[in-house]
């Protein structure tokens, strides 16, 4: 039986916000009101996770990390483990963000370790995939998406896959102010669902939440969310401003 795909509006604060700023922003988001059918997630920097955890504690706003190492502990200077994240109250973790792939050279293999480890620790991984502008221009979108999905989800069975969220984030749309059109997003989201159906099964593909990310903002949230295969938004820049982010969360009230 098909379960409804609860819309998820996820804020990725990247390397922004001091502890005090993070608390203020989280308080404004938590207190700002949201439709009952929309799930909200905040991913502050590691340094502010504990402070934001206090703010979202006993609310339905979900705490997430932006990255993690796959090992539980050990000699990995500068890294943060899933054990540390769950200890802080994180429930989700962004994995394979394009900045991790392109700036820090994370491979599909490393990303797959993180997906597996997150699941082992009860964290919901949000696996980010997406093509560069060059790849889009060279007509390689489908190949890139398929390879990143296969690589990132390698070794998962359907039961474990049921706990994974996918985020389609075209690299050319991230932080550029140029979002994918709703039609472009829908085309790739549909492709991702078809690919998931092939890799796992149709029921699982239909139940998987697929978020769109890339210059999402209050002004374009409703039209993106109106697409049948867009189940939520992963928001960077626009998540740093409470009013803008609340406008996205309340996208239904802004749509025509």
Q: Determine the interface stretch with ligand PEP among 45-53, 59-67, 78-86, 169-177 (rule: CB under 6 A).
A: 169-177
Reported for 118-121, long-range contacts at CB under 8 A and 24+ positions apart, including other chains, are 118/68, 118/82, 118/93, 119/156, 119/160, 119/163, 119/164, 120/82, 121/82, 121/83, 121/85, 121/86
Contact residue for ligand PEP among 38, 235, 246, 248 (CB under 6 A): 235
For residue 226, give both structure tokens.
Answer: 């109106």
Assess whether 198 carries a catalytic annotation. no
Closest CA to 128 of 178, 179, 174: 174
| Residue 250 near residue 35, CB atoms below 8 Å | yes
Whether 97 is catalytic is yes
User: What percentage of the chain's residues is helix, strand, coil (to nearest 5)?
Assistant: 45, 15, 40
Contact between 63 and ligand PEP by CB under 6 A: the answer reads no
Residue 175 C-beta: closest distance to ligand PEP, Å: 4
List all residues 6 or more positions away from 30 whose beta carbon is below 8 Å from its beta carbon.
55, 56, 59, 61
The interface with ligand PEP within residues 76-135 (CB under 6 A) comprises: none
12 or 116: whose CB is closer to ligand PEP?
Answer: 12
> Which of 9, 149, 234, 242: binder of ligand PEP (CB under 6 A)?
234
If one asks whether residue 170 binds ligand PEP (CB under 6 A), the answer comes out as no
In the list 67, 117, 215, 250, the residue contacting ligand PEP (rule: CB under 6 A) is: 215
The residue number whose beta carbon is nearest to ligand PEP equals: 236
Q: With binding defined as CB under 6 A, does residue 11 bind ligand PEP? A: no
Please tell me the distance from the alpha carbon of residue 111 to that of residue 164, in angstroms, as a whole number.
13
Q: How far is the CB of 238 from ligand PEP (least distance, A)?
A: 6
| Tally of CB atoms within 10 A around 134 | 10
Residues 97, 131, 189, 223: which is the catalytic one? 97
Q: How far is the CB of 177 from ligand PEP (least distance, A)?
A: 8
Verify binding: residue 25, ligand PEP, rule CB under 6 A. Answer: no
Where along the sequence are the contacts to ligand PEP (CB under 6 A)? 12, 169, 174-175, 213-216, 234-238
Active site members: 97, 169
């Amino acid at each position: 039986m098909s379960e409804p795909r609860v819309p998820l509006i996820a804020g990725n604060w990247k390397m922004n916000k001091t502890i005090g700023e993070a608390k203020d922003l989280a308080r404004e988001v938590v207190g700002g009101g949201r439709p009952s059918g929309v799930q909200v997630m905040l991913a502050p920097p590691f340094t502010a996770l504990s402070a934001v955890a206090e703010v979202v504690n006993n609310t339905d706003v979900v705490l997430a990390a932006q990255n993690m190492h796959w090992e539980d502990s050990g000699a990995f200077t500068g890294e943060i483990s899933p054990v540390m994240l769950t200890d802080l109250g994180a429930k989700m973790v962004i994995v394979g963000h394009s900045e991790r792939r392109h700036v820090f050279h994370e491979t599909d293999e490393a990303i797959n370790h993180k997906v597996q480890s997150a699941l082992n620790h009860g964290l919901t991984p949000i696996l980010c995939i997406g093509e560069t502008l060059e790849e889009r221009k060279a007509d390689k979108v489908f190949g890139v998406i398929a390879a990143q999905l296969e690589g990132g989800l390698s070794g998962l069975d359907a039961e474990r896959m049921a706990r994974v969220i996918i985020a389609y984030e075209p690299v050319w749309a991230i932080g550029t102010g140029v979002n994918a059109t709703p039609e472009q997003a829908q085309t790739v989201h549909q492709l991702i669902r078809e690919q998931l159906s092939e890799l796992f099964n149709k029921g699982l593909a239909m139940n998987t939440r697929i978020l769109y990310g890339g210059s999402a903002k209050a002004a374009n949230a409703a039209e993106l969310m109106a697409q049948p295969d867009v189940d939520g938004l992963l928001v960077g820049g626009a998540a740093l401003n409470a009013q803008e982010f609340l406008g996205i969360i309340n996208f239904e009230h802004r749509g025509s």
